[in-house]
Amino acid sequence: MRKAVLLKVAIQSILKNKMRTFLTMLGIVIGVAAVIIMVAVGYGAQSTIAAQIGSLGTNMIVIMPGASTQGGVSQGAGTFNRLTLADAEKLRRESMLLAAVSPVVFTRAQAISAHGNWRTIINGVSTDYQLIRDWPTQSGVFFAESDVRGMRKVAVLGKTVADALYPDGDAVGQQIQIRDVPFTVIGVLTSKGQNAGGMDSDDVILVPYTTAESRLTGWSRVGQILASTYSAQDIPAAQEEIRGILRESHKLGAADDDDFTIRNQDELTEAAQSTTRVMTLLLAAIASISLLVGGIGIMNIMLVSVTERTREIGIRMAIGARGSDVLTQFLVESVAISMVGGFIGLLLGVGGAAVVGHFTGWNTVTPPGAVLIAVGFSAAVGVFFGFYPARQAASLNPIQALRYE
């Protein structure tokens, strides 16, 4: 049987009972649409996390305090702090791979202005912090090296803090008070939004680390040290270089464990996205059950169709149609139903993902690979679940088929 005739006969058979065809197709439509929407939501979450971590800075390396052990039980990272300003200075002097280094002195305090007050995080940093975090000012300027050396009482506000303390005007040039210490606002940072942990990156005040140490905290330890490399390719080598410099600074022996922890953006991205990736696969697997149900529906209807058309099959075989022709015809019908349903489901899925993103505010991304897989899988469902009914039709005895009532 010629392909054109085969396709024509298959289409005529499908259109003969439009309502039944539509209901058969509905399972595939829902399955493909559900898979596309779930994958779009999952990939959107991954891209959002990647963007949030990317906003942390350029080629950034984070050096944090190490873990302490009490009674043989590790207390976790950050519980044993031996990081000092001297460590940051040593890294800046001796490193060959680091483009910038900044200590970070953490504290939390109430900031008071003439218009209100706001409790926020105060970070004492160096001028390199702006380069590491790739964080320009929206208005005003960042403090200079002379401000750090002179321990000047100048501050750069995050957007959230600036809006809270000065809702009606520009904060630059205004005075704020932090723990009874007056500071002059010299700049306001551009907005970065939420970070990967869901915290507001803009809820912060930056001051020179020398000022924070001498006027706000009095601590000789620093909460962390931030560094960045000249290129992303330098990060692994830079981490080893940092490890060697800090072990020397802390006078650690060959048998001693590191008393600090080094992380980079790739590790942060992978850690944050691993859970999202698993959830995406889980959601897609759950949605794929709809495709399975749709496939069973196709098999059921095709078996009914074989029974209804038994006499027709007998006539065709009696006038010369081979069993392979009948098999191919029923497979074409099954695949056609499945493919049309797949394309309709694809359109609904892409549109549904956009609607979900619009009403929830989530970022949704439909990867081309997911589109190809969903449509290809719908065709495979048509072949898999259509093969048995087609084989049943092809194996009919022509004489018995002609006598069938």
Q: What is the pLDDT of residue 315?
A: 67
Q: Is residue 68 part of a domain?
A: no
* 70 belongs to a structural domain: no
Q: Per residue of the chain (405 residues), what is the pLDDT tens digit?
A: 466 666 676 677 667 777 777 777 787 788 788 888 888 887 777 676 666 655 555 688 899 887 654 444 444 554 567 888 999 999 999 999 999 999 999 999 999 998 889 999 999 999 999 999 888 999 999 999 999 999 999 999 999 999 999 988 789 999 999 998 999 999 999 988 776 556 788 999 999 999 999 999 877 778 899 999 988 788 889 999 999 999 999 888 888 888 888 887 665 566 555 666 676 677 667 666 766 777 777 777 776 666 666 666 666 666 666 766 677 777 777 777 778 888 888 888 888 888 888 787 777 877 777 777 777 777 777 777 766 666 766 676 665 555 555
Smallest CA-to-CA distance from 228 within 100, 54, 92, 127 is with 100
d(CA 52, CA 48): 6
- Give the phi and the psi of residue 192 in degrees, each rounded to 5: -110, -15
Q: Could you tell me the CA-to-CA distances from 222 to 124, 236, 304 in Å, in that order?
A: 9, 24, 75
* C-alpha to C-alpha distance for 264 and 226, rounded to whole angstroms: 10
| Among the listed residues 256, 192, 260, 251, the one whose alpha carbon sits nearest the alpha carbon of residue 223 | 260
Residue 210 Cα distances to 111, 146, 217, 289, angstroms: 19, 11, 10, 60
234 and 287: one domain?
Answer: no
* Amino acid at position 150, single letter: G
**pLDDT the model gives residue 24:** 75
Report if residue 324 sits inside a domain: yes
**244 and 293 part of one domain:** no
Distances in Å between the alpha carbon of 247 and those of 70, 241, 254, 339? 22, 10, 9, 62
197/225 Cα distance (integer angstroms): 19
d(CA 283, CA 38): 6
149 and 248 share a domain?
yes
Residue 199 burial class via C-beta count within 10 angstroms: exposed 0-12, middle 13-18, buried 19 and up: exposed
Instruction: Tally the domains of the chain.
Output: 2
**CA–CA separation, 286 and 280 (whole Å):** 10
Question: Which contiguous run of DSSP H or E holds residue 125?
Answer: strand 116-125
DSSP result, 19-45: HHHHHHHHHHHHHHHHHHHHHHHHHHH
Q: Which of 223, 258, 293 is the last residue of a domain?
A: 258
Q: How far is the C-alpha of 268 from the C-alpha of 304, rounded, in Å?
A: 55
| Same domain for 288 and 244 | no
From 258, 283, 302, give the residue that closes a domain.
258
Same domain, 202 and 117: yes
- Domain check: are 89 and 149 in the same one? yes
Q: What is the pLDDT of residue 111?
A: 94
159 neighbors 138 (Cβ within 8 angstroms): yes
pTM for the whole structure: 0.60
pLDDT computed for residue 295 by the predictor? 73
Domain boundary among 205, 234, 258: 258
* DSSP notation for 210-246: HHIIIIII--SB-SEEEEEESSGGGHHHHHHHHHHHH
Terminal Cα-to-Cα distance of the chain (whole angstroms): 26
* Domain co-membership, 150 together with 253: yes
- Note down the domain range covering 374: 3-52+271-403
Q: Residue 231 in contact with residue 59, Cβ under 8 Å?
A: yes
Q: Are residues 115 and 237 in the same domain?
A: yes
Claim to verify: residue 249 and residue 295 sit in the same structural domain: no
User: How many whole angstroms separate alpha carbon 55 and alpha carbon 208?
Assistant: 22
